Chain A
Amino acid sequence: MAILLVAEHDNATVSDQTAKALSAALAIGSDVHVLVAGKGAQGAADGASKLQGVTKVLLAEADELAERLAEPVAALIVSIAGGYDTILAPATTMGKNVMPRVAALLDVMQVSDVIEVVSADTFKRPIYAGNAIQTVQATDAKKVITVRTATFQAAGEGGSASIETVDAAANPNLSTFVENRIAANDRPELTSARIIISGGRALGSSEKFQEVITPVADKLGAAIGASRAAVDAGYAPNDWQVGQTGKVVAPELYIAVGISGAIQHLAGMKDSKVIVAINKDEEAPIFQVADYGLVGDLFAILPELEKAL
């Protein structure tokens, strides 16, 4: 039977996370339908139809789907779930919000944060902040899965799947969207960036964070991340947090600046291809996972690095 992939998108375009989750879907089976739930989302549906391996795109549009609120999106997925034996979504905040609701409505135990598809019913997933990897077999007839996208390659483009319109389910009317507060910037997204530079508490203030990290990020065309300590201290916004409970990233180059390397942070970045650590404490645990370590004062090193690039 077919597989349903719930798309991460912003109505205009389909996100890279969807293309990565598609690779996981294709490792489970070959007939993958993508659900685009939104409002004015033809652009995202067109984007999804071009992804290599998608056999059909389902487009559902309604006011309450515009921001993909959990209750109406889950109701929609459940209304079409009969035709699918696997339903999956990237483990973005959307996927994490919606999918367990779908699973409970279907009386299915969800498999969260899959990092490897072993077979159609068996998956690997991290537990304890990635300090152990569990292999689990899902025994429910239907599988509901979220995919940790950092470990999957994005599926390519070149497909031309048909787009079919489906009706939204009756709106449960339980919650109302008020507003999004999303900082606009021109940087690449953390979860798809090729290079990330992250700052920790050692930066000392939000001004210093900007002053020291931003010029290097600009030079490298890098996304900016932060440790939990830096976010808690107000040096960086919450959506920059990399770690167990923030974003999990795997760029080609990860530069950790003034980050000691708590296990919760390592959980979010240790799959990066190359890790650079800059820290004045040579005993900092971050050096145990870094390919290249530089011990010293970050306030001297970063301006020098910016010039050297």
Chain B
Amino acid sequence: MKVLVPVKRVVDYNVKIRVKTDGSGVELANVKMSMNPFDEIAVEEAIRLREAGKVTEIIAVSVGPQQAQETIRTALAMGADRGILIKVDELVEPLSVAKLLRGVVESEGIELVILGKQAIDDDANQTGQMLSALLGWSQGTFASKLEIDGATARITREIDGGLQVLDLKMPAIVTTDLRLNQPRYASLPNIMKAKKKPLDEKSPADYGVEINARLKVLKTEEPGGRKAGVKVKSVTELVDKLKNEAGVL
């Protein structure tokens, strides 16, 4: 079985982002970029499935600028077999990404796609569900456990009240939550090896997809700030302030 793992290049999760003063967006120049953390979990899960003999090939795909190649190389260094970069310089919305991924799934004969549940830049949480809809496949979102047995994938999902277990008919789309696994670090020898793994470059036109934005971003601004309050010295003072000053007790 071939697995597709889409990976996104995003601002590193440790970076405190800055909003541009003219309201045009978030400052991305000279900022450390990394693979979206949920996508690392997706890559790791695919590798574990291959190690368990359930998967024969792992293809990592990224939609983005030339530099997204580095993100694919990271996936290859972790253990993916080959990569595809669909080169697009402008921002691509989840709906367009899903259409591109459908093209990859169909041209590569993919039977399972594992994606991060959301990217930590736009926090949209849409691409997996959209891809599933476009393909008419089953969808298992927010996975904390995945077991594949022939034509069925049993998935445990993190939902509002706790956990939910579903059986998905294969082929399927699975999106990862934090507790699915702990991604491995790429070792130096594997980073070197990854440089030799095949990485194809494609364009949206190769998949017959036209990139157009449906959401017009009018403005990007800083959130309303919250000021630090006061430090209290004792529990008694805290309870007094909560009762008499804040009025919340």
Interchain CB contact (< 8 A) of A137 among B94, B136, B215, B246: B215
Known contacts A96-B141, A128-B120; A238 and B179 CB within 8 A of each other = yes
The answer to the question of B168 belonging to the interface, with a C-beta cut-off of 8 Å to chain A, is yes
B178, CB-defined interface residue at 8 Å: yes
Contact with B along A98-127 (1 / 0, CB 8 A): 111111110111111100000000100011
Give per-residue flags for B217-234: 1 if the beta carbon is below 8 A from chain A beta carbons, else 0: 111111100101111111
**Does A46 make an interface contact (CB < 8 A)?**
no
Complex interface: chain B residues within 8 A of A270 (CB): 226
Whether A174 pairs with B169 at a CB distance below 8 angstroms is: yes
A159 to B218, CA, bound (A): 36
- Residue in contact with A292 in the complex, picked from B16, B123, B165, B241, CB distance below 8 Å: B241
Produce 1/0 per residue, B91-106, CB < 8 A to A. Answer: 0011100100000000
The answer to whether A180 and B158 touch across the interface, beta carbons within 8 angstroms, is no
The contact of B26 among A92, A128, A178, A290, by CB within 8 Å, is A128
B90 within 8 A of A: no
15 contacts across the A-B interface (CB closer than 8 A): A70-B132, A71-B138, A71-B139, A100-B126, A100-B133, A104-B133, A127-B121, A127-B123, A134-B220, A135-B217, A181-B162, A191-B160, A195-B248, A244-B123, A274-B246
Cα separation A39 to B239 with both chains bound (whole Å): 46
A237 near B162: Cβ-Cβ < 8 Å = yes
- Chain A residue numbers with a CB within 8 Å of B157 are 93
- For A110, give its contact among B124, B131, B158, B160 (CB under 8 Å): B124
Contact partner of B230 (CB less than 8 A), chosen from A71, A247, A293, A308, is A293
Query: B228 contacts A103, CB within 8 Å?
Result: no
Contacts of B124 in A (CB 8 A): 110, 112
Pairs of residues from A and B, 6 with the lowest C-beta to C-beta distance, nearest first: A109-B214, A174-B138, A100-B129, A291-B229, A104-B130, A104-B133
CB nearest neighbor in A for B26: A132
Residues of A within 8 A of B229 (CB): 275, 290-293
Given A138-B215, A294-B232, A305-B235; A174-B16 close (CB under 8 Å)? no
Inter-chain contacts of B167 with A (CB < 8 A):
175-176, 178
B142 lies within 8 A of A97 (CB): yes
Chain B residue numbers with a CB within 8 Å of A132 are: 17, 19, 26, 220-223
Distance in Å: Cβ of B19 to nearest Cβ of chain A = 5
Shortest distance between the CB of A77 and any CB in chain B (Å): 11
Interface flags for A223-258 (1: CB within 8 Å of B; 0: not) read: 000001001100001110000110100001100000
Asked if B228 contacts A131 (CB within 8 A), the reply is no
Q: Which chain A residues lie closer than 8 Å to B232 at the CB level? A: 292-294
Q: Which one of B138, B160, B178, B220 contacts A232 once the chains associate, using CB atoms below 8 Å?
A: B178
Which of B120, B144, B177, B242 is within 8 Å of A244, CB to CB?
B120
Secondary structure at chain A's binding surface: helix, strand, loop or mixed?
mixed
> Shortest CB–CB separation between residue B97 and chain A, in angstroms?
11
**A140 contacts the other chain (Cβ, under 8 Å)?**
yes
Q: Which of A67, A70, A140, A228 contacts B141 (CB 8 A)?
A: A70
Q: Which residues on the A side are within 8 Å of B168 (C-beta)?
A: 174-175
Q: State whether the Cβ of A295 lies closer than 8 Å to any Cβ in chain B.
A: yes
Is there an interface contact between A253 and B248, defined as CB atoms closer than 8 Å?
A: yes
Q: Which residues of B contact A130 (CB under 8 A)?
A: 223
Tell me the minimal C-beta distance from A308 to chain B in angstroms. 5
B-contacting residues, A263-309, CB 8 Å: 263-264, 270, 273-276, 282, 287-295, 301, 304-305, 308-309
User: Within 8 Å of chain B (Cβ to Cβ): is A182?
Assistant: yes
- In the complex, the answer to whether B179 meets A290 with C-beta atoms within 8 Å is no
Q: Are A101 and B129 in contact (CB under 8 A)?
A: yes
13 A-B pairs besides A172-B136, A274-B248, A292-B238 with CB distance below 8 A are A96-B125, A99-B129, A100-B128, A104-B131, A109-B215, A110-B126, A135-B217, A136-B217, A137-B218, A239-B161, A276-B238, A294-B235, A301-B235
Assess whether B209 is interfacial by the CB under 8 Å rule: no
Q: Are A128 and B121 in contact (CB under 8 A)?
A: yes
Chain B residue numbers with a CB within 8 Å of A239 are: 158-163
Q: A97-B129, A288-B228 are in contact. Are A109 and B160 (CB under 8 A)?
A: no
Residue of B nearest to A67 (CB): B164
Q: How far is it, in angstroms, between the C-alpha of A165 and the C-alpha of B91 when the chains are bound?
A: 42
Give bound CA distance, A238 to B162, whole Å.
Answer: 7
Interchain nearest-CB distance for A228 vs B (Å): 7
Q: Which residue of A lies closest to B153 (CB)?
A: A175
Residues of B within 8 A of A134 (CB): 217, 219-220
Q: How far is the CB of A31 from chain B (nearest CB, A)?
A: 24
Q: Is A22 an interface residue (CB 8 A)?
A: no
Q: Which single residue of chain A is at the shortest CB-CB distance from B161?
A: A182
